[in-house]
Amino acid sequence: MSRIYGMPTRNRPTAQCAVAVLLCLIATACVTPNRMLRSLPATSPDSAPLVGASVSERESGDVADLGGAEGQAIAVDSIAADSIAADSVAAANTPVPPVWDLEIEEHASRARVAYYVDAFSGRLHQPFERALGRQTKYSGLIGDRLRAAGLPQDLTFLAFVESWYDPHAYSTAAAVGMWQFMARTAKGVGLRVDWWVDERRDPVRSTEGAVRLLSSLHGEFGSLFLAAAAYNGGQGRVSRGLAQFASRVDPVEGESKFFALSDTRYLRAETRDYVPKIIAAALVAKQPDRYLLNVDTLAPFVFDSVFAPGGAPLTAIAAAAEVPLDSIRELNSHILRGMVPEGDSMWVRVPVGAGEGFDSAYAALDSAERIAVKRVKTKAGEYMALLARRNNITTKQINWYNPRATRLKDGNLVAGQTILIPTKATVAGARDVPNPAVERYPRRRTTTPVRAAPKVPAPAKAPPAKAPPAKAPASATKRP
């Protein structure tokens, strides 16, 4: 610099300009292209379309036409913008990781869990999808009741394991409904189960009963998995197993206690697989993209309610509400015989909005429409098939309304008893279901069959000794 300032005055401006240009070039090399771009005017007509241009357009010369450092800076920043946009699209398409409120992922690697994951996503793929479709119909009412009881939402998959979310499921052991209650257990949690009404088939009431039972079992065992095992295998069996194998189960913490008890093989095979099925169902159902599930969403199970008098046929209720009979049957699957039980007024569900003006509409129906059954007195020699033919219904259908009819040994009805004859409209709303009071338990099988000891044949008895032949009496001889 001193040499510059020692030059003649007329040469100093030229030298100073040269130094300034050199300093600018050095600064330019040190500044990043992005910062250079930010220094450009935001409203530059040349830069605006280039930011959104494709990579191929930029490589084809549109950006190169700018030339120099400015063109390079804009190209680099445009590529960065496209990369950010691509990352945003990828993030939007990335499935949201599932959220669990049971210990699901912690046990996903267990052998039986993996087995059922393969089953639900493989050979049982289609029925699994159909079950998840039914779940969309009932998930709202199940979730609300689990939440109100302080239970995890993932316990909804217990209903999947029990019945595939089918309110009409019926097992060989006479367990019925979405939650597969036996009649005695259902009555114990406050459900009505009799010839006319079976609330095990009611999605709402059965869910309330199941939540009540699960809450009680969870309070007793302190473990949701043990509560589920007791729901399936019985409270007493789980309690006895925990007492018998306390040294192996007590040191284990959390939900792993179930697996510690399961490893003892004290529980039945069905119960040992029960919790792994719940875990596997949750794993597959909550990751539909991973397991290529295509689930149809059904309309939620919602309704209004109207108060119907005893003996009201479902067909009359449907007529007063101006809805199809099938809608009433679907919402009231617990009403078995197509009518409100006589002498027992009750709330009946109707589609949302159909309850407006129901009372006046029902009263305005013809009196014949509001009659579900008529009564006849039996005469000597009459039998059910004869009465059914007279009234254009089947013998099975007339038996639905007369569970206590008494018969003679020859099959004829005892004379003088009252028989209910349903109208054809009443029969149209009824369900062909087994006797709700039946309790059929499967034959128990031991894990190791005990063979009966072979029978040792009794020693053959020696034949009785023959008595010596009696001597013939000496015959009298005549002497000559």
Range of the domain at 389: 374-422
Write out pLDDT tens, residues 183-230: 999 999 999 999 999 999 999 999 999 999 999 999 999 999 999 999
- For residues 224 and 119, membership in a common domain is answered with yes
Residue 94, amino acid: T
- Beta bridge partners, 410, equal none
Based on the domain organization, do 47 and 131 belong to the same domain? no
pLDDT digits (tens, 9 = 90+) for 73-125: 434 444 445 555 555 555 556 667 899 999 999 999 999 999 999 999 999 99
Q: Residues 390-442: pLDDT tens digits?
A: 999 999 999 999 999 999 999 999 999 999 999 999 999 999 998 898 876 44
- Give me 18's structure tokens: 């040269």
| Same-domain pairing of 41 and 152 | no
Which of 33, 63, 93 is where one domain is finished?
93
Q: Would you say 177 and 201 are in contact if contact means Cβ atoms under 8 Å apart?
A: yes
- Is the residue at 219 inside a domain? yes
Quick one: 139 and 19 in the same domain?
A: no
Q: What is the CATH number of the domain that holds 395?
A: 3.10.350.10
Packed helices 274-285 and 224-233: angle between N→C axes, nearest 10 degrees: 120
Domain shared by 89 and 109, yes or no: no
Does residue 231 lie in a domain region?
yes
Is there a domain that residue 464 lies in? no
If one counts the domains in the chain, the total is 3
Q: Choose among 161, 424, 183, 159: nearest CA to 301.
A: 159
Q: How far is CA 192 from CA 189, 198, 201, 205, 436, in A?
A: 9, 6, 10, 9, 10
Burial 296-325 (b: 16+ CB within 10 A, else e): eeeeebebbebebeebbbbbbbbbbbebeb
Residue 55 has pLDDT above 80, yes or no: no
At 468, the pLDDT band (50, 70, 90 cuts) reads: low
What pTM value is reported for the model?
0.73
How would you label 3-15 residue by residue, b for 16+ Cβ within 10 Å and e otherwise? eeeeeeeeeeeee
Count of residues making up the chain: 480
Q: Which residue has the tokens 């079992």?
A: 217
244, pLDDT greater than 90: yes
> Rounded mean pLDDT of 48-56?
34
* Angstrom distance (rounded) from CA 317 to CA 301: 19
Domain boundary among the residues 422, 441, 461 is at: 422
Whether 189 maps to a domain, the answer reads: no
Q: Residue 32: inside a domain, yes or no?
A: yes
CA dist., res. 231 & res. 181, Å (int): 10
Structure tokens at 84: 């950010």
Quick check: is 314 in a domain?
no
Domain check: are 112 and 246 in the same one? Answer: yes
Do residue 155 and residue 88 come from a single domain?
no
Q: Which of 241, 263, 285 is the last residue of a domain?
A: 285
Mean pLDDT of 34-44: 39
Give yes or no for residue 148 having a pLDDT over 70.
yes
Q: Would you give the distance in Å from CA 84 to the centre of its chain?
A: 41
User: Based on the domain organization, do 136 and 74 belong to the same domain?
Assistant: no
The answer to whether the beta carbons of residues 305 and 174 sit under 8 Å apart is no
User: Could you write out the DSSP letters of every residue in 358-391?
Assistant: HHHHHHTS-TTTT--EEEEE--TT--HHHHHHHT
Of 42, 30, 99, which is closest to residue 69 (Cα–Cα)? 30
The answer for residues whose C-beta is within 8 angstroms of residue 367's C-beta and 6 or more apart is: none
- Are residues 46 and 112 located together in one domain of the fold? no
Q: What is the DSSP letter of 259?
A: H
What would the two tokens of residue 35 be? 């910062």
Do 218 and 82 sit in the same domain of this protein?
Answer: no
Percent of all residues in the chain with a pLDDT value above 70, rounded to a whole number: 72
pLDDT score for 97: 83
Of 419, 266, 422, 225, the closest CA to residue 337 belongs to: 422
| Residue 122 shares a structural domain with residue 266 | yes
Kindly tell me the burial class for residue 33, based on how many C-beta atoms sit within 10 Å of its own C-beta (0-12, 13-18, 19 or more). middle
Q: Which residues contact 103 (CB under 8 A, 6 or more apart)?
A: 225, 254, 255
364 is a domain residue = no
The stretch 127-152 carries a mean pLDDT of 97
